[in-house]
Amino acid sequence: MFSFAFKAVTAAAVGSALALTRPVAANPSDPRYVEVGPAASVPFGWIDFCQRYEGECSGDRLPAADIVMSAQARADIDRVNRWVNGHVAPISDQDHWGVIDRWDYPIDGKGDCEDYALLKRKMLIEMGYPRQALLMTVVKDADQQGHAVLTARTTEGEFTLDNFNDEVKPWASTGYRFVKRQSQEDPNSWVSLGEPTEAPLYTAR
């Protein structure tokens, strides 16, 4: 049932994303965008996910691109964030899989932070939005605990899709310390964000 509902929501919006992609115009001083640093280590959770879902991680490098933040794009991003948050029940990886950290699609309707983010990413890509603008991101919360969110990079800035909040917020309004995320060109390469900080060993929120 969860899979059927997911397909229905995605199909309802397929085609709405056409012509909503724009090449990135570099402006490192724009505060609407987090500062991107040098290459960072790839989270083990992503590596393990790619070994189990090889087709989800393959593909050529692509030029960086942003989502044109039209009213339709804003509505699609908001709808996907709220739908996934409302249809996935939170559970720790330890209780779910018997391991500290495992990245997976919440196909049984349960998951933790990275599982929510992975599903949101998949849904938006299947709706036609560019993978280069939908980036798995590792942050630290106020307690310095590791957490995963989805970053949507748009022509109006970077926005965060978070399982803890139905509101899609600009990155700087989340209160998180942004640590690293996928490169826009290659989802299997990761880049550091902002001032250097030690990355959490795992994400489990």
Burial tier of 166 (Cβ tally within 10 Å: 0-12, 13-18, 19+) = middle
Residue 2 has pLDDT above 60, yes or no: no
- At 27, which amino acid appears? N
How many independent structural domains does the chain possess? 1
13 within some domain: no
* 30/155 Cα distance (integer angstroms): 11
| Of 196 and 52, the one with more pLDDT | 52
92, 112 Cβ separation under 8 angstroms: yes
203 within some domain: no
46-55 pLDDT per residue, tens:
999 999 998 8
pLDDT at 4: 43
136-187 pLDDT per residue, tens:
999 999 888 999 999 999 999 999 999 999 999 999 999 999 999 999 999 9
30 within some domain: no
71 within some domain: yes
199 within some domain: no
CATH number at residue 101: 3.10.620.30
Taking alpha carbons only, the member of 136, 112, 105 closest to residue 6 is 105
pLDDT at 20: 63
Contacts of 41 (CB under 8 A, 6+ apart): 180, 190, 199
* 69/147 Cα distance (integer angstroms): 26
28 within some domain: no
Question: DSSP secondary structure string, 22-78?
Answer: EE----TT-TTSPPEEEEEPPPHHHHHHHHHSHHHH-------EEE---HHHHHHHH
pLDDT at 54: 83
70 within some domain: yes
Q: What range defines the domain where residue 79 resides?
A: 35-193
3 within some domain: no
The mean pLDDT of 37-42, rounded to a whole number, is 96
